[in-house]
Chain A
């Protein structure tokens, strides 16, 4: 197996990009990544996306995006794993390069969500759950997460207000990210007073629906120097799955696939959670951030909230998360999120994170969660320079 590095990154500003289509968003990100990597050709393209068929009335994204960015003819496919589609595309690209099937591979994540109205998007997102046994019963994706949060609060004695620290931290970090959707701080009071979506989850617990695209270029580490001086090595790439429906899991409050994929990743990288300098967590909802921190080994069971409250997740904390705003502050263009997370880790490890730079960042982790924890993809990146 060959060691693999990221030699180029690109991203669009996350938000309501009324004037840009799905292919334009993807094209912008891919071309930016290609420029960053100083390449004009690639061997393969993987496009991570969840909702194009439902919302943009378009499938077949591999060929569509390849052609649009001037790569007509190359091998290209769409990869789908609900909210983990972005990281799933990266995982496929990683396998292709590591396995020697290709040398220069692009992984792109793209989502165009604002072409449809509220309940259509709500229905589309609910496809991440179990169609016959969760969404059939009228559960939105938010409601599925709300069931986890309600039980978590009951079992561990937390109040809704206790989760505010996650959202406050994410928004604070988004301030210095020019690509973020909500680059403005929020207060605990604003968090508490936000409109309910599915109790106990309110608008401030939730990451926003948005358009966006991000891309990375991969090549074998031994060839990386030929393209760039600031390559970042992929030290681990690990996927685990769980039952799609939370009712099928023996312990709904323990995200087994998060645990398994994180443990695999630590082993591959040869490190422990204590070595991680920053963690781009999948904070689609505040409860997901807490559960992810716990199952990754950063906090004991039921104590993920405490990490946020005590400042451990801040930029200068023990385990900074959502350093560029996370899903909450940067925005959550579903199938693109996994690539945004990796792009942000690369920014940190290159020392290009501006006002949010983590000092001496060497190991960065990104974790993309599909559904309520059914597909979990963890990547650990290491600074080479």
Chain B
């Protein structure tokens, strides 16, 4: 994906800006413009707290192109406290350390680089809640 794509989704990726349905109050992430709960338009931005729990997780040992340097890394479905599930990497965890129910918080981290000369792509990841 090119630079315009990353730029366009920056609000979501840097700080979890989703949407809230003004008809039924459902909070949506990723933003999807039509509320899956009540099928009404949902354009109002809503910034999520970033807190949640691990719903499921896996450690990736064979990475797609561009992610090889981070292997092994942990990916997860995170259940945000406002409701939605979100797919993301866990960071600051060791392989095998994650567990279902682990409390996590959102951080903005480097996702990958477009080579040594290209853009650096940032986005949300989750890490164990710091005490």
Do A and B contact each other directly (Cβ–Cβ < 8 Å)?
A: yes
Residues in chain A within 8 A of chain B (CB atoms): 118-120, 122-123, 126, 130-140, 142-144, 146-148, 150-151, 154, 196-201, 245-248, 252
Residues in A neighbouring B1, C-beta threshold 8 A: 131-132, 136
A247 to B36, CA, bound (A): 13
Q: List 18 A-B contacts (CB under 8 A).
A: A118-B62, A119-B68, A132-B9, A133-B87, A138-B60, A138-B64, A138-B73, A138-B75, A139-B60, A140-B60, A146-B58, A148-B56, A197-B61, A199-B59, A245-B30, A246-B77, A246-B85, A247-B86
Residues in A neighbouring B9, C-beta threshold 8 A: 132
Residues in A neighbouring B53, C-beta threshold 8 A: none
CB closest chain-B residue, reference A152: B56
Residues in B neighbouring A196, C-beta threshold 8 A: 59, 61
Q: B88 touching A147 by the CB < 8 A rule? A: no
Known contacts A133-B30, A136-B123; decide if A252 and B85 are in contact (CB<8 Å).
yes
Interface residues of B in 15-33 (CB under 8 A from A): 30, 32
Q: Per a CB cutoff under 8 Å, which of B62, B70, B125 touches A122?
A: B62
Q: B65 touching A119 by the CB < 8 A rule? A: yes
Q: Per a CB cutoff under 8 Å, which of B5, B30, B70 touches A138?
A: B70
Known contacts A143-B58, A245-B87; decide if A132 and B75 are in contact (CB<8 Å).
no
Q: Per a CB cutoff under 8 Å, which of B56, B59, B61, B89 touches A151?
A: B56
A118 to B100, CA, bound (A): 30
**Is B76 interfacial (CB-CB < 8 Å)?**
yes
Known contacts A119-B63, A134-B87; decide if A199 and B58 are in contact (CB<8 Å).
yes
A108 to B73, CA, bound (A): 38
**Is B55 interfacial (CB-CB < 8 Å)?**
yes
Q: How far apart are B85's CB and chain A's nearest CB, in angstroms?
A: 4
Which of A138, A197, A246, A248 is the most central at the interface, judged by chain B CB atoms within 10 Å of its CB? Answer: A138
Q: B5 touching A132 by the CB < 8 A rule? A: yes
CB closest chain-B residue, reference A148: B56
Which of A131, A135, A137, A198 is the most central at the interface, judged by chain B CB atoms within 10 Å of its CB? Answer: A137
Q: What number of residue pairs across chains A and B have CB atoms under 8 A from each other?
A: 113
A136 to B58, CA, bound (A): 16
CB closest chain-B residue, reference A155: B100
Q: A136 touching B77 by the CB < 8 A rule? A: no
Q: How far apart are B98's CB and chain A's nearest CB, in angstroms?
A: 9
Known contacts A138-B89, A147-B77; decide if A198 and B70 are in contact (CB<8 Å).
no
Residues in A neighbouring B66, C-beta threshold 8 A: 123, 138
**Is B45 interfacial (CB-CB < 8 Å)?**
no
Residues in A neighbouring B76, C-beta threshold 8 A: 147
Q: A151 touching B100 by the CB < 8 A rule? A: yes
Top 4 closest A-B pairs, CB basis?
Answer: A146-B58, A151-B56, A247-B85, A123-B64
CB closest chain-A residue, reference B55: A151
Residues in B neighbouring A131, C-beta threshold 8 A: 1
Q: B77 touching A247 by the CB < 8 A rule? A: yes
Q: How far apart are B95's CB and chain A's nearest CB, in angstroms?
A: 8
Q: A140 touching B64 by the CB < 8 A rule? A: yes
Q: B75 touching A122 by the CB < 8 A rule? A: no
Residues in A neighbouring B87, C-beta threshold 8 A: 130, 133-134, 137, 139, 144, 147, 245-247
Q: B89 touching A198 by the CB < 8 A rule? A: no
Residues in B neighbouring A136, C-beta threshold 8 A: 1, 111, 123
A271 to B87, CA, bound (A): 39
CB closest chain-A residue, reference B125: A137
CB closest chain-B residue, reference A151: B56
Residues in A neighbouring B96, C-beta threshold 8 A: 199
Q: B86 touching A147 by the CB < 8 A rule? A: no
Residues in B neighbouring A154, C-beta threshold 8 A: 56, 100
Q: A119 touching B57 by the CB < 8 A rule? A: no
